């Protein structure tokens, strides 16, 4: 099976989706026979630059053009579609960067076309040409032979020297709208005798971020994955995405300070082996997509900014989970801290922090952890997470906190806060509690004997 995006390369301007301004431009200029000798097609990947270059080379050489569209049935159109038409030459500057290729073009350009009306040179990613090659190209552009047309495609117009830009007609390709891509996907699925729900197609369109090629690649994965109709759930599953309800739940848990739920969501993501970066991207998209319906715009924008900073930071972090957990709990804290200027106006509605529960079966340490997590004034998350990585034994008024070799950092954090910690414990029991903090040495066995509470 040939890849979908090759199979469905637009063959006429009518088949090209989006890019209305480009289509209109060529409709007019072909009608008036005002053809430029050099075009620059600039714009994002997979939006139709190469396709348009081929359509244009066909219509200029077509034996029976259909208005401004090529017929696709004459021998010239067929040869161009098959990539073996002598007068249409495609060159990929990403792999042929040198001056030799351009010199060849320059020399060949002086000969008349063999079987068509125009010699068309399509140079892809031409910003990657070497300086010498650019200069040679520039010479050719200065005095182009009557029958020669250059189509220079690039995803990086800013890398192209002004001297070249000023000699060419620059056409800016745009990202294709989600709506256009959605319809395109539904149509192509239909042509393939398959069904895809509109919601599912919409998600693909969103993920493709304006590129038709990416959209078709995603669709192809989905068609391979299932034999049945493709639903929103299939897309979420196979692309490793997240349910909208989960995204909503996550954001609300930050706003409401529901720490327990935040940690539960975090654990779910990691336990399922999903990527936290994808999750954060999805949350950001969710906020953005619902920004018009926002009940509190400044709050939503602030959290989006915080989450996008976190996304950047997490990309380069080794311990993504800890960084993620610390930050989301911190955000939750900030939105629920009375002193915070970002405080939601609906003060009364905000769920207040639960005080540590007093169930008798609960260990002293879990109460302390609860307090650390839920403290109103100044939540000490560093201490919380450090303790989570310890083995802690409780015996009357004596607490032993033990760290394994790999938890040196955690050990140091707890060690530096031992006085505060002792205070927490003592406050809870109402008498003096002694804390002993140890770093791994040989007493691991002894610890085990002493009825260890393993917290993680």
Ligand X SMILES: Nc1ncnc2c1ncn2[C@@H]1O[C@H](COP(=O)(O)OP(=O)(O)OP(=O)(O)O)[C@@H](O)[C@H]1O
Which residues in this chain contact Zn ion in the complex, by CB under 5 A?
62, 70-71, 74, 77
The mark string for 72-111 relative to ligand X (x by CB under 6 A, - otherwise) is ----------------------------------------
Asked if residues 227 and 242 have their Cβ atoms less than 8 Å apart, the reply is no
Q: Give the nearest distance from C-beta 217 to Mg ion in angstroms.
A: 15
- The CB-side HSE value for 357 (13 A sphere, CA atoms) comes to 6
Q: Give the nearest distance from C-beta 34 to Zn ion in angstroms.
A: 21
The only residue of 40, 46, 150, 178 in contact with ligand X, by rule CB under 6 A? 46
Our CB check for Zn ion shows the closer of 74 and 263 to be 74
Interface of this chain with ligand X, residues 124 to 183, rule: CB under 6 A: 124, 153, 155, 176
CA 44, CA 296: separation in Å to the nearest integer?
34
Ranges of beta strands (E only) in 166-240 are 169-172
Q: Give the nearest distance from C-beta 125 to Mg ion in angstroms.
A: 8
* φ, ψ at 426 (rounded to 5°): -65, -40
CA 167, CA 162: separation in Å to the nearest integer?
9
Q: Give the nearest distance from C-beta 254 to ligand X in angstroms.
A: 38
* Count of beta carbons in the 10 Å neighbourhood of residue 350: 15
CB-based burial of residue 137 (10 Å sphere; 0-12 exposed, 13-18 middle, 19+ buried)? Answer: buried
Interface of this chain with ligand X, residues 206 to 245, rule: CB under 6 A: 212-213, 216
Which is nearest to 276 in space by CA: 312, 305, 222, 237? 312
Work out what residue 77 binds among ligand X, Mg ion, Zn ion, none; the CB cut-off runs from 5 to 8 Å by kind: Zn ion
Of the listed pieces 4-12, 144-152, 163-171, 431-439, which binds ligand X according to CB under 6 A?
4-12
CA 325, CA 266: separation in Å to the nearest integer?
7
Structure tokens of 139?
Answer: 């010479």
Work out what residue 51 binds among ligand X, Mg ion, Zn ion, none; the CB cut-off runs from 5 to 8 Å by kind: ligand X
Which is nearest to 291 in space by CA: 283, 282, 300? 300
3 state DSSP class of 85: coil
45 binds ligand X (CB under 6 A): yes
Work out what residue 74 binds among Mg ion, ligand X, Zn ion, none; the CB cut-off runs from 5 to 8 Å by kind: Zn ion
188 binds ligand X (CB under 6 A): no
| Site residues for ligand X per CB under 6 A | 5-6, 8-10, 16-19, 45-51, 124, 153, 155, 176, 212-213, 216
């Amino acid at each position: 099976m040939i890849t979908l995006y090759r199979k469905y390369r637009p063959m006429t301007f009518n088949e090209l989706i989006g890019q209305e301004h480009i289509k209109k431009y060529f409709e007019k200029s072909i009608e008036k026979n005002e053809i430029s000798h050099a075009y620059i097609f600039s714009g994002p990947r997979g939006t139709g630059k190469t396709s348009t270059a081929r359509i244009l080379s066909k219509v200029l050489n077509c034996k029976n053009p259909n208005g401004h569209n090529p017929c696709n049935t004459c021998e010239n159109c067929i040869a161009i579609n098959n990539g073996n038409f002598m007068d249409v030459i495609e060159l990929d500057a990403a792999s042929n960067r040198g001056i030799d290729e351009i010199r060849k073009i320059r020399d060949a350009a002086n000969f008349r076309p063999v079987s068509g009306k125009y010699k068309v040179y399509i140079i892809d990613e031409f910003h990657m040409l070497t300086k010498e090659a650019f200069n040679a190209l520039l010479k050719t552009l200065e005095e182009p032979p009557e029958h020669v047309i250059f189509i220079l495609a690039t995803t990086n117009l800013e890398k192209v020297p002004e001297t070249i830009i000023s000699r060419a007609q620059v056409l800016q390709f745009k990202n294709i709208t989600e709506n256009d891509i959605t319809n395109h996907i539904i149509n192509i699925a239909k042509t393939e005798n398959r069904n895809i729900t509109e919601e599912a197609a919409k998600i693909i369109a969103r993920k493709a971020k304006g590129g038709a090629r990416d959209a078709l690649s995603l669709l192809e994965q989905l068609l391979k994955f299932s034999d049945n109709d493709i639903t929103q759930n299939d897309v979420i599953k196979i692309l490793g995405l997240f349910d909208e309800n989960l995204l909503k739940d996550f954001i609300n848990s930050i706003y409401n300070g529901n720490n327990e739920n935040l940690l539960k969501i975090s654990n779910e993501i990691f336990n399922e082996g999903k990527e936290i970066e994808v999750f954060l991207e999805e949350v950001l998209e969710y906020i953005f997509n619902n920004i018009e319906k926002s009940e509190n715009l400044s709050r939503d924008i602030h959290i989006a900014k915080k989450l996008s900073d976190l996304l950047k930071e997490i990309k380069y972090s080794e311990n993504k989970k800890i960084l993620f957990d610390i930050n989301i709990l911190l955000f939750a804290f900030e939105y629920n801290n009375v002193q915070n200027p970002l405080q939601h106006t609906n003060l009364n509605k905000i769920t207040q922090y639960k005080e540590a529960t007093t169930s008798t079966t609960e260990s002293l340490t879990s109460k302390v952890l609860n307090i650390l997590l839920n403290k109103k004034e100044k939540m000490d998350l560093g201490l919380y997470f450090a303790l989570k990585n310890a083995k802690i034994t409780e015996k009357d008024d004596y607490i032993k906190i033990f760290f394994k070799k790999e938890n040196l950092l955690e050990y140091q954090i707890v060690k530096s806060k031992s006085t505060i910690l002792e205070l927490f414990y003592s406050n809870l029991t109402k008498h003096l509690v002694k804390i002993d903090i140890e770093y791994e040495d040989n007493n691991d066995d002894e610890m085990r004997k002493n009825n260890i509470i393993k917290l993680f």
